[in-house]
Amino acid sequence: MTDDATTSVKLLHPLLDTHGPGWVESRSSKPVVGVSSGLSALFVDCAEFGTRVALVTGPESRLTYSLFHLLDVLGGVWLTRASDGSLRRAVTLEPLRSPAHGLGVTEDGYPLPRDEAPSAVRLDAGRSVDPDAVPWTQLAVVTHHRARAEARLGGTLERLVEALAPGTRTLWGTTEPATAIWDRDFFTAAARSRMPSETRFHVAGGDASGPRYRGWVRVSRSDDGVVEETRIVVTGAVAPGVVADALADVAGRQQVLLATAWSMSGRADATVSAHDRVAPQPVAAVIGARSVRGMHLDVEGLVRRVGGRVLGSSRTPSVLVSFDEGPAGDAGAGAGADDGAAAAARWQRFADAVDVVGADEILAAMTPPGVRRAS
């Protein structure tokens, strides 16, 4: 990227504070930062020029779930600056010299040597456990639709919310906070009107007690249809069996490519802190019939080794893997085990599933051929 291109982005966006070749810094002093119309426009323009964004907030600021993941998808980074001027990378808490350092480049935009680049290792110093943390269930479901006039989007979101956060009123929009009342037909029409460009819609829901979930739905064209990716985090306790059944229900109604569910803990408003201790645990996953065929996967063998059940017909099977249960006859860590043993057992089943399916095959299932990504 040239200096002229960076400068043109800067002139268009008052949200930019400093910049260099291939990178820009945007600062926010808000206690909660979301995908505002300004940030959304900034991301779009920066993506056009191949520019990466370093978002700098105070140490106590929090990001919405959507913004936290959007930064990751766009190759950006979240940094925090303390009152003494010291800079750290959020989540890992690694000390940094500058926003450019946080992005792994020099001030002139050149990649840093490996021994100077930021690490993905989390530091324990300065990390805390939020005493008010509540259980979270994080879900990611990728579905495929044929490019037909009668195709309707948003069904995955509706089924997940109905199963895991019943009674929730859903709002949606292209920025945060989402303000439009959920209407599946209007949602589908909005996505269709933006084709073939990829579109990301932000969703949120709550009830009288407060927020219940946040997330986003990304809609993209592929070689033979439309790919819909739904990612949400639901706050409050949900039994693993209920989560697994919700994924199975979606797989029975939608053409699921891949779906995963994870448990963790976080803020009741589904925002992300820069320094909380977060330890995700795998709960369940679905490999849809289309992906099973593409992988030539032995679903019966997978269930025997890891656990779960075969879904659908014998001709076009899907498979639900439950990391909380394990295979039939498994005497490993179960309901009576302590937290450490149960967590270790879940991660072992997850590792076994990845070993059977293949990491590359899992990544390929999430992005079918010809998907037109904006980033």
pLDDT, residue 224, reads 83
| CA nearest neighbour of 375 among 225, 222, 199 | 199
Which string of b and e fits 68-85 if b means at least 16 CB within 10 Å?
bbbbeebbbbbbbbeeee
Taking the model in full, what pTM does it have? Answer: 0.88
Q: Which residue has the higher pLDDT, 323 or 336?
A: 323
Distance CA 349, CA 202 (A): 32
Residue 52, burial from CB neighbour count under 10 angstroms (0-12, 13-18, 19+): buried
pLDDT of residue 88 exceeding 80: yes
pLDDT of residue 375 exceeding 60: no
pLDDT, residue 150, reads 86
Mean per-residue pLDDT of the chain = 87
Contact 262, 244 (CB under 8 A): no
Distance CA 260, CA 243 (A): 10
Contact 307, 327 (CB under 8 A): yes
C-alpha dist (Å) from residue 25 to 56, 60, 197, 247, 343: 7, 19, 26, 39, 39
DSSP helix/strand/coil, 21: coil
User: Domain limits of the chain?
Assistant: 3-102, 134-366
Of 111-115, 183-187, 313-317, 334-338, the least confident: 334-338
Contact 59, 83 (CB under 8 A): no
CA torsion angle 27 32 33 38 (round to 10): -90
Is residue 211 very low, low, confident or very high in pLDDT (cuts 50, 70, 90)? Answer: confident
Distance CA 117, CA 103 (A): 8
Two tokens at 28? 């926010």
Two tokens at 312? 């659908």
Q: Which of 129-138, 327-336, 343-352 has the highest mean pLDDT?
A: 343-352
pLDDT, residue 374, reads 55
- Relative to beta strand 16-20, strand 23-27 is antiparallel
- Relative to beta strand 23-27, strand 52-57 is parallel
Contact 134, 270 (CB under 8 A): no
Distance CA 234, CA 141 (A): 14
pLDDT of residue 37 exceeding 90: yes
pLDDT, residue 369, reads 60
pLDDT, residue 125, reads 56
**CB proximity list for 297: less than 8 A, separation 6 or greater:** 287, 291, 319, 356, 357
Distance CA 57, CA 31 (A): 9
Q: Which of 203-212, 323-332, 334-343 has the highest mean pLDDT?
A: 203-212
Exposure on the CB side of residue 314, measured as CA atoms within 13 A: 0
Position 345, amino acid: A
Fold topology of 3-102? Ribosomal Protein L15; Chain: K; domain 2 (3.100.10)
Helix (H) or strand (E) holding 318: strand 317-322
Predicted confidence (pLDDT) per residue in 218-268, tens digit: 999 988 899 999 999 999 999 999 999 999 999 999 999 999 999 998 899
| Cβ neighbours around 142 below 10 Å, total | 25
